A and B are shown apart, each in its own frame.
Chain A
Amino acid sequence: MVVLEPTVLEEVPVTSYSDHPTLSMRTGTWKYLQPRYEDKLPPCAHACPAGNDISKILALLACGDLKGAGKWLRAGNPLAATLGRVCPHSCQQSCNRDSLGGALAIHRLERFLGDQSLQYSPQLQPPTGQKVAVIGAGPAGITSAYLLAQAGHEVHIFDDKPKPGGFLRTGIPAFRLPKEILDQEIALVESVGVQFHQNIRVGRDLTFEDLKSRFAVVIVAAGLHASRPLKISDNGQAHVYHGIDVLERMQTQESLSIPGVVAVLGGGNTAIDVARSLLRAGSTPVIVYRRTEAEMPAIPSEIEEAKAEGVAFHFLAAPSRIVVEGGKIVALECQRMRLGEPDASGRRAPVPLPAPEFRLPVSAVVAAIGETADLEFLPEDLRNHGGFATQSVLDGDFRGVFVAGDVATNSGTVAAAVGSGRQVAATVDRYLRGEQPLTENPVLPSLWPRALNHAQVADAQLLNPAYFLPEVSCPLPEPSQASSTEWAVNEARRCLGCGTCNGCLNCYHWCPDVAIQVSSASAALKIDLEHCKGCGICVEECPRGAMAMAEVG
């Protein structure tokens, strides 16, 4: 276009005015910082020991795509319906919605989606011809087997119990986890080709060396199944039941009756499960714990439910002697304690009070003071190997041996066992394909509540009244929390999608340089770096923390 230069003042426009667009001014050259879109790990997923991609699952659910959401949940997690019942849901505790109408009911949504997707049929990779043995059919073993079988490997699980499930079957009472649910999830694992060999105890029916010679990989996922011994005077030890044995016998239909007042020693999940199971069998359980409720390692909601059901608690009491008369337990003598300085676990340690012992009249004692691994079946060299309990690739004679679950992590939750199974499966798959192990998970920085721009959360964002309905209390049969699809979709819609761009266009509306490019409603947003001055308003105003600033170049 020809621009005519004015020759007299009258021809000069009244103010600076140009029919050229400002695009010719490359304001982008001014910046030394520039924004970018960068999805981050939301706090829920960061807190999830099982490694669920929670925000993507919820995003699919929010769109009404139940099938897609279930598929994405099941892609790495065969035990979703189980976890939807027994997981302590740390995801929910870290939800950024906590102060904005309440945390999302992620736990209940997982159960809903887990139940919806029990018939899920995963896509299988072509067979690789590689064989994998897994010792232990607990959550870690099942998870790693499920994923490796989908990846095309031939997977065999060896387990010494009549039915697979490990602690899920023997340790978790049916009122928390119905066995039909577990059976259906195991059927799902079988459907991808995993072969279960039950009643086979490694070290008795076959040797570890056998397995090692027949399989390219052996995964040790044996769990913690040995009870810790009670450290009190020997008198009466013979009469003491062990927590996991009590649970197993009550789960596997073997009738076990312990009438009267039963002292359950310990503060973990086993102690709670034992007490609640005994209550259902007609006993009067009393939990005896040397610290207070705050130090109990059990899942807080389970403690609450046990209290609601009528389980009695004696805190700050350490058993010192079991009183036996006429071959029968008549009482438990306890030392009164107080809380002292924190110990290595960070919890305040119990310290005996200079007070006389007191007597609790009981007719039986169950010790549930923790479990350890029984690894006698493994070669001593392996157990002593420096990298043994690390989920990593071992060297030397033990190349091809991997350790998963509680034996490696000692974390004691199903979710952590699933997460460990997932991690080991990924390492094993790379190992079998001759690829180097990943040095680190390519995890983006987590998004913490304070990093989220709460001010930008639309007030109109759906707040689901169903969320505020009182939690259904836990009756003796499995709690009935039937979730309708409508409820689930509405609840999922409350998800802010922390750390994930969902095209809300807040950046576009705030950008003073009109440097956010929107091509279509569904296409990813782009930044016009030729005109972006690098002011950072878009990053500051992003309601989901899905943008980041970095120095140019």
Chain B
Amino acid sequence: MKTVLKGNGAVAKAVQMARTQVICAYPITPQTSIVEELAEMVASGHLDSRFIKVESEHSSMAGCIGAASTGARTFTATSSQGLALMHEMLHWAAGARLPIVMVNVNRGLGPGWSLWADQSDSLAQRDTGWMQVYCQSCQEVFDTVIQAFEVSQRVLLPSMVMLDGFFLSHTYEDMDLPEPSLIDSFLHPICLPHKIDLQKPATLGSMVSPDRYMEFRKKIDLAHQQALDVWTAVDVEWNALTGRSYGLLEEYRMQGAELVLVATATPASTARAVVDGLRDQGIPAGLLRLRVFRPFPAAALRHALRNRKKVVVLDRSCSYGHHGAFHQEIKSALYELPAAEQPDVKGIIAGIGGRDITAEDLEEMLLLAWQDKLSEAVTWWKTLPETINR
């Protein structure tokens, strides 16, 4: 069914159609309308779910952990400071191997206060054991939330689905909603081997001595490696039902491309037109959109970028004192290529705190790279010129 929804509305619709059983969330801009819509659905009887109100995000994740431990399909959404407050519980959710799905609407962290798009919040949670997927359109948001439920329950890892604050969360797009029966046939029931069973009392998350802790942790890592294949498989299954798929990476005009922009989320959609324009000028440009960041599709990235001349990686965050997270990870992945096949990789930090990344910006970045004019490994894009080194 054709419809028009904003990113947050697509999330709420997906959570509803997935027949989510427990929602435990706390509102925060720009995520708020997700929670509001879900609360209304529950209150009006349009979603048969338990909506648990909490006093903080730490508690909302704790509530999700409790609910998911019973085998219930569980969802929450947050942003920025809220995600940061959840940090401790994020480790627990992954360590307890619970298939919780969370949407994080990317937003900068204070101070100074920022309400706008910035990926620092989710990238700071990179090592918690959660899977991370960055979306580009409202349709992709809907499809990815559904896919995330399925992948999470297959590999027993929690998923974090990312939308750029306002650029995606509050932008309306036309999209196609599948029939409810399609979702019902696509999603399998949750099968949690360690689900709470009142008939078989047990201790969950008990203390583990050094002679076994490492094995549990290794299993999380193995599950992530397995999840790369599962994301691909689920994407293929989704494609069979809906005709839509996204892959771990999305390639655009990569055939013969010597100059490649690696981008995530909404700037990648702007970049399509830029790549088209450069191609018209005779510059062999291409776009590689990184969609699934955890698990990290290193082999696919190496395959897509080997033998390219110039690669520009766009980061909407910075690991202060070093590069942006995407830049450093992609560079490290490419280091395993033979030296002759390694492209020249430059990083650009742009759009921090919601600053717009325009088509002109992207074209200028790519041209500078093509002309060997990006002298630094990392460039903070168009900030005020340095005056004095304080």
Contacts and interface: CB of A to CB of B under 8 A. Distances in A.
A15 B97 contact: yes
Given A9-B218, A9-B219, A15 B95 contact: yes
Interface in B212-268: 212, 215-216, 218-219, 222
B194 A17 contact: yes
Nearest to A18: B203
Contacts of B200: 19
Interface string A14-34: 111111111001000000000
Contacts of A18: 202-203, 206
A19 B97 CA distance: 18
A13 B202 CA distance: 13
A63 B194 CA distance: 48
A100 to B, nearest CB: 24
Interface residues of B, number: 21
- Minimum-distance CB pairs A-B, first 10: A18-B203, A12-B215, A14-B97, A15-B97, A16-B208, A19-B202, A22-B203, A17-B194, A18-B206, A15-B96
B208 A14 contact: no
Is chain A's interface secondary structure helix, strand, loop, or mixed overall? loop
Contacts of B205: 15-16
B193 interface: yes
B15 to A, nearest CB: 25
Chain B CB within 10 Å, residue with most, of A15, A16, A21: A15
Given A9-B218, A9-B219, A17 B204 contact: yes
Contact of B215 (A9, A20, A25): A9
A465 B44 CA distance: 36
B203 A17 contact: yes
A13 B201 CA distance: 16
Given A9-B215, A9-B218, A9-B219, A14 B203 contact: no
Contacts of A16: 204-208, 212, 216
A25 B215 CA distance: 23
Nearest to A23: B203
Nearest to B222: A9
B156 interface: yes
B204 A13 contact: no
Interface string A339-361: 00000000000000000000000
A335 B206 CA distance: 84
A14 B202 contact: no
B131 to A, nearest CB: 16
Nearest to A10: B219
Contacts of B206: 16-18, 22
Chain A CB within 10 Å, residue with most, of B156, B200, B202: B202
Interface in A496-540: none
Contact of B212 (A12, A14, A22): A12
Given A12-B212, A13-B193, A15-B95, A21 B219 contact: no
Contacts of A19: 200-203
A15 B207 contact: no
Contacts of A15: 95-97, 194, 204-205, 216
Given A9-B215, A16-B204, 15 more contacts: A9-B218, A12-B215, A13-B194, A15-B97, A15-B204, A16-B212, A17-B194, A17-B202, A17-B204, A18-B202, A18-B206, A19-B202, A21-B201, A21-B203, A25-B207
Interface in B145-198: 156, 193-194
A17 B95 CA distance: 12
A249 B215 CA distance: 98
Contacts of A25: 207
A275 B193 CA distance: 86
Contacts of A9: 215, 218-219, 222
B207 A14 contact: no
Interface string A293-325: 000000000000000000000000000000000
Interface in A194-221: none
Contacts of A14: 97, 156, 193-194, 219
B146 to A, nearest CB: 24
Contacts of B202: 17-19
Contacts of B218: 9
A13 B216 CA distance: 8
Contacts of B204: 15-17
Interface string B332-344: 0000000000000
A348 B203 CA distance: 69
B69 to A, nearest CB: 10
A1 to B, nearest CB: 13
Chain B CB within 10 Å, residue with most, of A12, A14, A18, A21: A14
A20 B201 CA distance: 8
A9 B218 CA distance: 9
A21 B95 CA distance: 20
Contacts of A17: 194, 202-204, 206
Contacts of B96: 15
21 contacts: A9-B215, A9-B218, A9-B219, A12-B215, A12-B216, A12-B219, A13-B194, A14-B97, A14-B156, A14-B219, A15-B216, A16-B204, A16-B208, A16-B212, A17-B202, A17-B206, A18-B206, A19-B201, A19-B202, A21-B203, A22-B206
A18 B201 CA distance: 9
B48 to A, nearest CB: 28
A259 to B, nearest CB: 74
A403 B156 CA distance: 82
B168 to A, nearest CB: 33
Interface in A1-57: 9, 12-22, 25
A18 B216 CA distance: 14
A25 B222 CA distance: 31
A435 B97 CA distance: 70
Chain A CB within 10 Å, residue with most, of B201, B206, B219: B206
Contacts of B97: 14-15
A15 B203 CA distance: 11
Interface in B84-119: 95-97
Contacts of B156: 14
Nearest to B156: A14
Nearest to A14: B97
A25 B206 CA distance: 10
Interface string B50-87: 00000000000000000000000000000000000000
A218 B290 CA distance: 101
Nearest to A17: B194
A390 B236 CA distance: 96
A190 to B, nearest CB: 64
Contacts of B208: 16
B201 to A, nearest CB: 7
B202 to A, nearest CB: 5
Contacts of A21: 201, 203
A20 B216 contact: no
Nearest to B213: A16
Interface string A267-292: 00000000000000000000000000
Interface in B279-328: none
Nearest to A11: B215
Interface in A141-184: none
A13 B193 CA distance: 9
Chain B CB within 10 Å, residue with most, of A17, A19, A21: A17
A21 B203 CA distance: 6
A13 B215 CA distance: 9
A206 B203 CA distance: 84
Chain A CB within 10 Å, residue with most, of B200, B201, B215: B215
Nearest to B208: A16
Interface in A424-458: none
A172 B207 CA distance: 74
